[in-house]
Amino acid sequence: MKKTVSILLIVSIISICTNISAHMEVKVTLDGKEISFPDAKPFIDERDRVLVPIRFVSEALGSVVDWGNETRTAVIKQDDDEIRYTVYQPLAYLNGEMMVMDTYGILTDCRTMVPIRIYFGAFRM
């Protein structure tokens, strides 16, 4: 009986934490200024990773974004650096060098949402 109650308690706690994460408002700031997301909003996925709309964050960083619809690949360019990312893949390529991520981006409401960590260390700022 104690084992069953413990398991039910753990499942309830996990469910509550997941619901809290799913409904938290995520704000992204760059140099102290909040980045505006007019339609698709950043969120925390089921793997507890923050996903952001690739275009809004990239452009806030001063990058140019191209989208290949057939391959579902985003190309982010800034100065001499380039990131290539294909949706639903745990890999990105920085100047041709593979970066392995612990999660992947998705398409939702016609927006490409990527893990925010794709930007960490990628561009010289």
Give me the percent of the chain exceeding a pLDDT of 90: 50
The answer to the question of residue 11 being in a domain is no
- pLDDT value for 22: 52
Q: Residue 67's domain is classified under what CATH number?
A: 3.30.457.10
The answer to the question of residue 110 being in a domain is yes
The answer to the question of residue 84 being in a domain is yes
The answer to the question of residue 71 being in a domain is yes
The answer to the question of residue 103 being in a domain is yes
The answer to the question of residue 37 being in a domain is yes
Tokens, residue 124: 């010289």
Mean pLDDT of 28-51: 89
Question: What is the distance between the alpha carbons of residues 22 and 114, in angstroms, rounded to a whole number?
Answer: 16
Cα atoms in the Cβ-side hemisphere of radius 13 Å centred on 99: 20
Question: What is the distance between the alpha carbons of residues 103 and 48, in angstroms, rounded to a whole number?
Answer: 9
The answer to the question of residue 40 being in a domain is yes
Q: How many CB atoms lie within 10 A of CB 118?
A: 23
Number of structural domains (the chain) is: 1
- Report pLDDT digits (tens) over 45-93: 888 999 999 999 999 989 999 999 999 999 999 999 999 999 999 999 9
> What is the extent of the structural domain holding 100?
26-118
Question: What is the distance between the alpha carbons of residues 91 and 95, in angstroms, rounded to a whole number?
Answer: 13
The answer to the question of residue 74 being in a domain is yes
